[in-house]
């Protein structure tokens, strides 16, 4: 396998605008005790560039709070990065007696059986149900500070895995970054906001593929009517590609939702890009005959070349997590357009 040299880490010749200040920053980082010192240097240079632009105090406060919120969230999640997590969304107003509440709680319990953890918005309703089903030990709460309805539920309140955010955008980033699956229970504006954002990120390739599941109780038409609206008012008018609706799974069963998620990661582990090359990590290699079949079935999603399989990681992956180093690689030049078909390919890979 021919390997290209690893790309540079930070941006070459990035500057604060002051050569003297750049030298001081580089001197600070040359002590050797900082990992990723090139990127940290750029962060410091950016901060000093801000001071040269006479920013409004509100702009500086936004930058400051954003950095603080993300730093703290990364710190909280870091010890649990090797554990898969499902993000559960739904109405904060759902009563405990509702079938929606019971189903969300049952789903979270199912995921814990599979050694997953659960992330919710930490509040009441469906969020409480998700934390209750997972239990305090297997729960995260990603709370938003609001003047109403958003105090932490008793399952996750005062837990070290509860994070409080000022900004929705940092909270939403953490939800997508730290989870491996998204489950939407019946809810209001917030639920649809999180759902559409996740779908948009996956459909545009800004997030790697993941299970996105719309879950409601048997007999409910909440998500089926929503799906029909998508098809009739967006799909038939050409505002979305009909195939992209297949990025979403619909079910009335908590157990089936858990199965869809765990099946998605049965063989497929993760993916990344090395320049234009998509590299999937899988636990078990595909037989030669199966590799030939997927090349025939999925050649329409390739920019050029073929789907290839490799025993060893690429040179550019040397700094990737240790648990990925022994995995088989499947690589190809994906056209970055047909993400529903990419999901289908992952499904075929998971048959082995």
The full DSSP string for 257-276 is: HHHHHHHHTSSEEEEEEETT
Q: Is residue 259 part of a domain?
A: yes
- Tens place of pLDDT for every residue, the chain, 352 residues? 444 433 345 556 899 888 888 888 888 887 667 888 889 999 999 999 998 888 999 999 999 999 999 999 999 999 999 999 999 999 999 999 999 999 999 999 999 999 999 999 999 999 999 999 999 999 999 999 887 756 899 999 999 999 999 999 999 999 999 999 999 999 999 999 999 999 999 999 999 999 999 999 999 999 999 999 999 999 999 999 999 999 999 999 999 999 999 999 999 999 999 999 999 999 999 999 999 999 999 999 999 999 999 999 999 998 787 788 999 999 999 999 999 999 999 999 999 9
Residues 131 and 118 in one domain: yes
Instruction: Give the per-residue pLDDT at 7.
Output: 39
Instruction: Give the per-residue pLDDT at 6.
Output: 39
3-state secondary structure of 158: coil
Instruction: Give the per-residue pLDDT at 11.
Output: 59
Alpha-carbon dihedral sign for residues 318, 322, 328, 332:
negative
Half-sphere exposure at residue 194, Cβ-oriented, CA atoms within 13 angstroms: 31
Domain span at 302: 268-349
Instruction: Give the per-residue pLDDT at 5.
Output: 37
Residues 104 and 216 in one domain: yes
Q: What is the CATH number of the domain that holds 84?
A: 3.40.50.450
Instruction: Give the per-residue pLDDT at 8.
Output: 40
89 in Cβ contact with 194 (< 8 Å): yes
Q: Is residue 25 part of a domain?
A: no
Residues 123 and 257 in one domain: yes
Q: Is residue 98 part of a domain?
A: yes
User: What's this model's pTM, rounded to 2 decimal places?
Assistant: 0.92
Residues 197 and 272 in one domain: no
The DSSP code for 27 is H
Strand ranges, E, within the chain: 85-89, 117-120, 139-144, 162-165, 181-184, 212-215, 248-251, 268-274, 277-282, 302-310, 328-334
Instruction: Give the per-residue pLDDT at 30.
Output: 77
Instruction: Give the per-residue pLDDT at 3.
Output: 42
CA distance 35 to 321: 15
Number of domains in the chain: 2
Instruction: Give the per-residue pLDDT at 34.
Output: 80
Q: Is residue 73 part of a domain?
A: no
Q: Is residue 46 part of a domain?
A: no
């Amino acid at each position: 396998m021919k390997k290209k040299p690893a790309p540079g880490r930070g941006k070459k010749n990035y500057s604060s605008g002051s050569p003297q200040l750049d030298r001081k920053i580089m001197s600070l980082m040359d002590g050797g005790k900082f990992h990723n010192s090139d990127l940290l240097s750029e962060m410091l240079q950016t901060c000093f560039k801000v001071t040269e632009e006479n920013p409004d105090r509100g702009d500086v406060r936004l930058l400051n709070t954003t950095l603080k919120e993300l730093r703290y969230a990364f710190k909280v999640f870091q010890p649990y990065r090797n554990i898969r997590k499902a993000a559960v969304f739904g109405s904060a107003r759902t009563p405990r007696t509702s079938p929606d509440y019971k189903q969300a709680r049952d789903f979270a319990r199912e995921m814990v059986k599979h050694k997953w953890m659960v992330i919710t918005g930490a509040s009441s309703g469906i969020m409480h149900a998700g934390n209750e089903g997972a239990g305090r030990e297997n729960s995260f709460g990603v709370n938003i500070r609001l003047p109403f309805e958003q105090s932490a539920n008793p399952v996750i309140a005062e837990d070290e895995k509860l994070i409080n955010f000022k900004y929705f955008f940092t909270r939403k980033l953490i939800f997508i970054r730290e989870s491996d699956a998204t489950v939407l229970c019946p809810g209001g504006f917030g639920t649809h906001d999180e759902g559409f954002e996740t779908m948009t990120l996956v459909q545009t390739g800004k997030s790697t593929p993941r299970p996105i599941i719309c879950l409601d109780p048997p007999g409910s038409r909440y998500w089926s009517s929503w799906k029909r609206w998508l098809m009739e008012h967006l799909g038939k008018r050409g505002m979305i590609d009909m195939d992209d609706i297949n990025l979403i799974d619909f079910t009335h069963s908590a157990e089936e939702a858990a199965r869809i998620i765990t099946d998605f990661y049965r063989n497929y582990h993760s993916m990344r890009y090395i320049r234009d090359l998509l590299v999937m990590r899988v636990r078990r290699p595909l037989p030669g005959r199966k590799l030939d079949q997927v090349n025939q079935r999925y050649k329409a999603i390739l920019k050029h070349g073929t789907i290839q399989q490799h025993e060893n990681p690429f040179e550019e992956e040397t700094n990737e997590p240790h648990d990925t180093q022994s995995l088989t690689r499947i690589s190809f030049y994906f056209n970055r357009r047909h993400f529903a078909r990419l999901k289908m390919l992952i499904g075929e890979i998971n048959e082995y």
